Amino acid sequence: LEESAMIDGASVPRIFFQIVVPIMKPSIVSVAILEAMWIWNAYLLPYLTLDLGKYQTVSVAVQYLKGGYGSVDMGAKMACLVLAIIPIIVFYLVCQKYIVSGVMAG
């Protein structure tokens, strides 16, 4: 496809953005979903570097729902976990059509 576009007179940026990127879109979206999950669930680096009295990520906030002497309010913890999962699920649902189209094309 690239060579036929080059023979037809397309420039390199046009070949890249009109031929290569649409073919690679499912792969790009899959990597974006995995990276978003990795970044969203980050625990160690924010725990070590952030001022926890002022800033907290979702993962660190869930960890602090544990009470004294190991007691855990499971209702509050599960509700917080569901709220933490919702953005990644929405992102996946928005990007799902690109993954399915890539599987169908492949």
pLDDT in tens, 43-60: 888 888 888 788 888 888
3-state helix, strand, coil in the chain (%, to 5): 75, 0, 20
> What does the pLDDT average to over 5-11?
85
Rounded to two decimals, the pTM is: 0.64
Residue 57 to residues 21, 34, 50, 75, 87: CA-CA distances in angstroms?
33, 18, 9, 20, 14
For position 8, what pLDDT does the model report?
A: 82
Residue that has been written with the tokens 């992102």 in this structure: 91
User: What are the tens digits of pLDDT across the range 30-44?
Assistant: 888 888 888 887 788
Q: Which helix (H) or strand (E) holds 81?
A: helix 74-105
Residue 104 has pLDDT above 60, yes or no: yes
Q: How many residues does the chain have?
A: 106
Residue that has been written with the tokens 């036929």 in this structure: 4
